[in-house]
Amino acid sequence: MNFHNPFHELYLGESIGANEFVQLFSDVMVGPSLALFQPGNVVLSGLPGSGKSMMLNLLKPSIRRAYKESGINFPVPKEYSKFIGAGINLQRSSIADLGQRPIRSENVQDELSELAVFFGDFINYSITRDIINSIEELHEGFDKEIGINLSKENKDAFTKVLIKDECWFGYLNDVKDWDNLKHKLKSRLQEYRSYLNYNKDFLDSSIINSKTSIGIPIIVLAKHLRECGILANDVKLYVRLDQYEDLVWLNDRIPNLGTNFQSIIYKLLAIRDVTVSYKIGTRPFAWKYSKQEVAGTSAVLEQYRNYTVVSLEHVLKRKENSRSYIFPKLAEDIFKRRLKNKMPDFKLPKTNCLEYFFGKGMDARERALKLVKKDRDKVVKFDSSWPASWKKFLLSLSKTDPFSAKLAEAWAKQKGKEQIVDSTPTERPYPWESKKYWVKERTAQALIQIASRNRQQIIWEGVDDILNLSSGSLLGFLSICQQVWEAAQQDIQYNKYHEKVFYPFPAPIQTIAILEASLRWVEDIIKQPGGHKRKKFVIYLGTYFYNRLTSDDKMSYPGSNGFSLPISVITENAEIEDFLLDACDYGDILTFRHTPKNKGAKSRQKFYLNPIFSPYFKIPAIRTKEPIYFNNIEDIKNILFDSGAFSDFAPPKYVIGSKLKTNKIDTKNNFKQGGQYSLFE
């Protein structure tokens, strides 16, 4: 049977062509990321799969053209669409090859500094060339819309003044015309590549003697493009620098190489020239962990002054105000586009596409009935002091409504409500049922306890579950969809009696798919740098939460799937702060500002596991009620040590107060330096 999985490929940003992009791109994110299409440098930060590359792709001329040709509106609002986009993908441009072959110096420090200059030169030429190519690509069809006039006169005048500028150090002197200019730019880049690939013995001296200063040729280029009339004065130039994190990883190959290259990028941002803006795509940790020292100076970059950050995680995170929560809309839109593209013959419903495939989801009562089909009396745990009448009532209630029976048990065990056991209610709604918020806060915990007491797996199904589990993570959402289709396919193979897939997907298919996706996410923690330690921490924490939630018969602490710490406690220990923030940056835990229940109490930060781990640990994916309160550094320290996440750190000595925070902890170096105090003594 032909049953194609539309989510087979999780990542599309890098791999799809312009025409497919137009079909698959969701414009829901454009609004919150408008800074990308406005003047000013922007750092677009997001985890893998959060849609960075898709957003940056909107700056590409080929994408713009594809929109026009397909008749679909360009998603960028008209008032912001007068721009020329160009750029470089730091991973694909072979720029990382700089460094795999020395160019001149024998002294390592000089070598790194000089390589950084070559790196800047390579970027200058790549971008210059790409801007010219973009203008060529857009001038037909967009000349009026954007404001491009690529007449022969303009081209000639432009080439003439451009090549004379001092910024090129004479390299373009022999350029005759526009085409010749393009050729010259291309050949310089090719020269670099040939040398780096060992196809030439020397780098041409004309290159070595004409290294340009980062960013300057681009400003010059922009100025002349406007002055010569090729671009109208109000046309903006936006330059993409995607996969910035690759520079950080260069340090693993040659110490400090990446850092030197990064400082060149900072210099680019520090120029703050209004004619060109840079839009940098990066993973959060890569941007955070650099000192952001501008090459050649002791200045550091400043957020808001030199650049603004658009964090896709932040945009997609669920806020207190649910109206600003755009994730469900985005998920629905992306889902629909994928299906339309991959299953063109399938007749999709106009609205609520997610609901059509995943269903509304059962309510708690129904779930409890599904969870325990037999032995329903196990749902409730009696207190020895309870009178027989109350026990009998609970037993009988558990047969027909195990969910309510579990709530009743907790109700009777809670302080101040004990008297219920002496006056068994006779009419519905029972007292516990009519307390809407009391029930709402305890629903997930009650179901977990019912499942655990009957040794049953929690049911995961329905739109709400899927959206809660992926909570702001597009990749999480897509991987759940991928697994659901996969499981449906398996189901057909195991049970040959049916050949057809039914929608919404049956609950068992969704449950196994979600368990599978969760398992993979937990396993994949180790794939990221530092992941081994974080996985230990996550596993310990998940198990800890599960035990707390299931052993709390009174259901007094339904928020035990997260913990909260005073901010002052977090900042008092750089190492712990780094670890927690690191885990947030890699998406293993989520953090939110926590307004404590007592007024005047210290400000706090709360932490939850990424909800996609929840099925693995059988804990709720939603965050209700107060999390576990940790008040001292010892509380979290114990977890870090007991989980084994910190055991590797134990022997080395760290220097307290030496501002470890700005640098990633480097166990080896700290060991070498032999610090003064042990952090955990």
Q: Reading across the β-sheet that carries 83-89, which strands appear in turn? A: 83-89, 236-242, 276-282, 42-45, 308-311
Q: Which of 87, 211, 96, 230 is nearest to 152 (CA)?
A: 230
Nearer to another protein, 74 or 613 (CB): 613
Q: Is 491 in the site for another protein (CB under 8 A)?
A: yes
Tokens of 211: 């290294």
Residue 446 CA to residue 453 CA, distance in Å, equals 11
Q: Which of 465, 466, 471, 460 is nearest to 327 (CA)?
A: 471
Return the range that interacts with another protein (CB under 8 A); candidates 240-248, 436-444, 504-512, 553-561: 504-512
CB 86, min distance to another protein, A: 44
Burial of residue 469 (number of CB atoms within 10 Å: 0-12, 13-18, 19+): buried
Binding mask 54-93 for another protein (x = CB under 8 A): ----------------------------------------
Residue 560 CA to residue 442 CA, distance in Å, equals 11
Residue 310, strand partner residues: 44
CB 508, min distance to another protein, A: 5
Strands 562-566 and 236-242 turn out to be: unpaired
The dihedral over CA atoms of 254, 257, 259, 262, expressed in degrees to the nearest 10, equals: -140
Q: Which of 443, 471, 511, 591 binds another protein (CB under 8 A)?
A: 511
Q: Is 543 in the site for another protein (CB under 8 A)?
A: no
Binding mask 598-627 for another protein (x = CB under 8 A): ------------------x-x---------
Helix H or strand E encompassing 308:
strand 308-311
Q: Which of 2, 495, 500, 527 binds another protein (CB under 8 A)?
A: 495
Nearer to another protein, 421 or 507 (CB): 507
Nearer to another protein, 487 or 660 (CB): 487
Q: Which of 35, 354, 509, 565 binds another protein (CB under 8 A)?
A: 509
> Helix, strand or coil for residue 104?
coil
Residue 185 CA to residue 560 CA, distance in Å, equals 60
Tokens of 226: 């406007």
Residue 192 CA to residue 203 CA, distance in Å, equals 7
> Helix, strand or coil for residue 43?
strand
Nearer to another protein, 426 or 493 (CB): 493
Residues with Cβ within 8 Å of 100's Cβ and at least 6 positions away in sequence, in order, are 196, 253
CB 489, min distance to another protein, A: 9
Nearer to another protein, 491 or 585 (CB): 491
Residue 648: Cβ within 10 Å count: 12
Residue 405 CA to residue 379 CA, distance in Å, equals 7
What is the total count of residues that contact another protein (CB under 8 A)?
A: 22
- The answer to whether residues 390 and 421 touch, using CB atoms and an 8 Å cutoff, is yes
Return the range that interacts with another protein (CB under 8 A); candidates 263-271, 280-288, 350-358, 505-513: 505-513
Binding mask 401-440 for another protein (x = CB under 8 A): ----------------------------------------
| Residue in the structure block whose two tokens are 């200059």 | 117
Q: Is 585 in the site for another protein (CB under 8 A)?
A: no
Strands 604-609 and 562-566 turn out to be: antiparallel
CB 372, min distance to another protein, A: 11
CB 610, min distance to another protein, A: 16
Return the range that interacts with another protein (CB under 8 A); candidates 326-334, 390-398, 470-478, 487-495: 487-495
Tokens of 482: 């991928």
Q: Is 536 in the site for another protein (CB under 8 A)?
A: no
Q: Is 480 in the site for another protein (CB under 8 A)?
A: no
Q: Is 497 in the site for another protein (CB under 8 A)?
A: yes
Q: Which of 113, 457, 624, 663 binds another protein (CB under 8 A)?
A: 457
CB 512, min distance to another protein, A: 5
- The answer to whether residues 521 and 612 touch, using CB atoms and an 8 Å cutoff, is yes
Q: Which of 199, 384, 426, 493 binds another protein (CB under 8 A)?
A: 493
Q: Which of 203, 362, 395, 519 binds another protein (CB under 8 A)?
A: 519
Farthest CA pair distance, the chain: 102
CB 491, min distance to another protein, A: 6
Residue 105: Cβ within 10 Å count: 13
Return the range that interacts with another protein (CB under 8 A); candidates 39-47, 313-321, 380-388, 452-460: 452-460
Q: Give the HSE-up count for residue 563: Cα atoms under 13 Å, Cβ half-sphere.
A: 19
Q: Is 455 in the site for another protein (CB under 8 A)?
A: yes
Binding mask 372-401 for another protein (x = CB under 8 A): ------------------------------
Binding mask 9-28 for another protein (x = CB under 8 A): --------------------
Q: Is 53 in the site for another protein (CB under 8 A)?
A: no
Nearer to another protein, 2 or 493 (CB): 493
Q: Which of 496, 527, 597, 668 binds another protein (CB under 8 A)?
A: 496
CB 496, min distance to another protein, A: 6
- The answer to whether residues 316 and 51 touch, using CB atoms and an 8 Å cutoff, is no
Return the range that interacts with another protein (CB under 8 A); candidates 13-21, 45-53, 266-274, 503-511: 503-511
Tokens of 627: 């999390």
Q: Is 487 in the site for another protein (CB under 8 A)?
A: yes
- The answer to whether residues 361 and 370 touch, using CB atoms and an 8 Å cutoff, is no
Residues with Cβ within 8 Å of 13's Cβ and at least 6 positions away in sequence, in order, are 51, 52, 53, 54, 57
Tokens of 162: 């451009």
Residue 374: Cβ within 10 Å count: 7
Return the range that interacts with another protein (CB under 8 A); candidates 173-181, 436-444, 451-459, 602-610: 451-459
Nearer to another protein, 437 or 494 (CB): 494
Nearer to another protein, 133 or 543 (CB): 543
Residue 77 CA to residue 34 CA, distance in Å, equals 9
Residue 215 CA to residue 223 CA, distance in Å, equals 13
Nearer to another protein, 262 or 510 (CB): 510
Task: Give the residues lining the site for another protein (CB under 8 A).
Answer: 451-452, 455-457, 487, 490-491, 493-497, 508-509, 511-512, 515-516, 519, 616, 618
